Structure 1
Amino acid sequence: MKENITTFLASDALEKYMLGTCTEAEAKQTEHYIDTYPEVRDHYNSMQESLESFAQMHAMEAPADLREKVLSDIPVIKVVKKTYWMQIAVAASVIFAALSVFFFVKQNNLLQENNTISQEMRDLKLSIEQNNSQISSLQNELNMLNNPDTRKYVLNGNEKARELQTVAYINTKERLSLINVLDLPDLPEEKCYQMWANVDGEMVSLGILEINNNKLLNLPYKENALSYNITIEPKGGNKKPTEGSTVANIAF
């Protein structure tokens, strides 16, 4: 049940209920949660207080000349004495209608602003989660690089690709592999660089290599790899390395 409450609070059900944009079924479900669970009720009360504070901060008084403008628009009618109270009633109705429209517009604007703020809060929460994920990923990479069991292997190109330079980081205990592509010579459009692991004499593809602005990329870890090899293959890669296409390799 605790998970249901957490899921409900993480949704926008309370916001839609406050803004009046939910369906009748959604409204009944929200009211049930508010009446049944103190956590939901406290969160709902907190949202109401926040909205009320926001409304007070942006409250605007009706224009001072609104009453005069309304009265000036009422046609002047010559009436006998007995219709005096009817004129007052009509005038009051017109003034009330005008004020109702004015405050309805202001309330609608406040609700729209509150909806915008709620969306910005959700976007900010998502951004924080993404940043935390990136920080966690970078921390894991740093831990691996600083691990004494991690080995660094530099793959330099042969005469077919002298400028090629790639660094691989392998940790056999943690079964982790990272790669940093430092430089790849240009190839014709129909060609690409592909990386392979020699596992017990069989070449297993580790994917196509591209320049990644000195960023570390995860590399598929292969148990019992005897060497890493880089070849030039047709665009899109090959299932098996082309014979005589090796431009770099390193044995473990």
Structure 2
Amino acid sequence: MNNDIKSILESDMLERYLIGCTSAGENRIIEESICRYPEIRQKYKEMQEDLENYTRSFSKPAPSQVKKNLMRTIRKEKKQGKSWYLNAAAVIAIVFCTSTVVLLYQNRQLLYKNGLVNEEIASLKSDILNTNSKLDDVKNQFLLLNNPKTEKYILKGNRRAKNLKTVAYIDPVEKLSMINIVSLPELPGEQVFQMWAEIDGKMVSLGVLENAQNKLLSIPFKEGAKSYNITIEPKGGNIIATEDNVVASIYLR
């Protein structure tokens, strides 16, 4: 499927266009797409039909007083010899149009409010996930620091990174590992520090180190790791460790 088609169908642009909540630029994009792509044209047609059915489901008969006034007007016009049926038709059309406009407006309001509610729900879900993630981190920190079997390792930088100092905590029982970055030297913008675990003679990435001083950061636990190493790598990290750029190493017990 064309990326333009997919982008429009997966967004809420058609819904907003249908209820008149799109900008002039979005209107132009949608109208051109409806003319150009059969898939979008079909989807828009289905949405129009859904809106019409929705509107009909909420339609209400005209108040009885309107009917009485209409019949009174018809009888009066008939006595006067005028084209009463034309007047009647006009009145009926006005009543129908007025009720239709009101229902369409109410439907637009409902769709708009529904969109706001969905956005709020999505935001709440995101907040819940973030909160749960933070709670898991706190729980893991508590387990790690309070377990007497947790092993502590200090990695200090060599002459290429004299101010580098990190403390690694490893709990082999709970299989948790974290790192506390005490200090990281400044690097050029195109370089980063990356941490590695040596397993069976191969370097396995544990991620790029962020300059979050005095904060415990989770790192992947690696079974069978023989050493921890920190290298200088290109921005974004590397797949394979540049062993010539190792600035800190520690062998694990």
Name the TM-score class by shorter chain: 0.5 to 0.7
Distance 1:183 1:174 in 2: 27
**Shift in Å at residue 164 of structure 1?**
0.8
1:90-239 equivalences under 5 Å are 90=89, 92-148=91-147, 149-188=149-188, 191-199=191-199, 202-214=201-213, 215-233=215-233, 236-237=237-238, 239=240
Deviations 1:117-162 (A, max 9, x none): 4323432442243234323432333333333232332212233211
**Shift in Å at residue 171 of structure 1?**
0.4
Distance 2:156 2:211 in 1: 17
Using the TM superposition, name which of 163-172 and 210-219 deviates more.
210-219
Return the letter of the residue paired with 1:154.
I
Identity percentage of aligned residues: 35
Q: Please give the root-mean-square deviation of Cα atoms over the aligned residues, in Å.
A: 3.9
CA contact (8 A) 1:206 1:219 kept: no
**Shift in Å at residue 189 of structure 1?**
5.6
CA contact (8 A) 1:233 1:242 kept: no
Distance 1:121 1:188 in 2: 41
CA contact (8 A) 1:196 1:203 kept: no
Distance 1:103 1:162 in 2: 73
Return the letter of the residue paired with 2:160.
K
Q: What is the match of residue 25 of structure 2? A: none
**Shift in Å at residue 223 of structure 1?**
3.3
TM-score (norm 1): 0.54
Q: Which runs of no fewer than 5 residues in structure 2 stay unpaired?
A: 1-43, 51-57, 59-65, 67-76
Distance 1:172 1:205 in 2: 18
Matched residue SS, 1:153? strand
Distance 1:143 1:22 in 2: 57
TM-score (norm 2): 0.54
Q: Does 1:89 align with 2:93?
A: no
CA contact (8 A) 1:203 1:240 kept: no
Q: What is the match of residue 247 of structure 2? A: 247
Matched residue SS, 2:82? helix
Distance 2:103 2:150 in 1: 67
1:49-88 equivalences under 5 Å are 81-83=80-82, 85-86=84-85
Distance 1:185 1:162 in 2: 8
Return the letter of the residue paired with 1:184.
L
Matched residue SS, 1:186? coil
Distance 2:224 2:136 in 1: 26
Distance 1:95 1:238 in 2: 71
Distance 1:98 1:222 in 2: 70
For residues 249 and 99 of structure 1, do their structure 2 counterparts lie closer, same or farther at Cα, with a shift above 3 Å needed? same
Matched residue SS, 1:160? helix
**Shift in Å at residue 79 of structure 1?**
9.1
Deviations 1:78-116 (A, max 9, x none): 997233744652453244134224422432233223422
Matched residue SS, 1:116? helix
For residues 135 and 23 of structure 1, do their structure 2 counterparts lie closer, same or farther at Cα, with a shift above 3 Å needed? farther
**Shift in Å at residue 192 of structure 1?**
4.3
**Shift in Å at residue 197 of structure 1?**
3.3
For residues 103 and 142 of structure 1, do their structure 2 counterparts lie closer, same or farther at Cα, with a shift above 3 Å needed? same
Return the letter of the residue paired with 1:171.
D
Distance 1:87 1:190 in 2: 80
Distance 2:144 2:208 in 1: 21
Return the letter of the residue paired with 1:156.
K
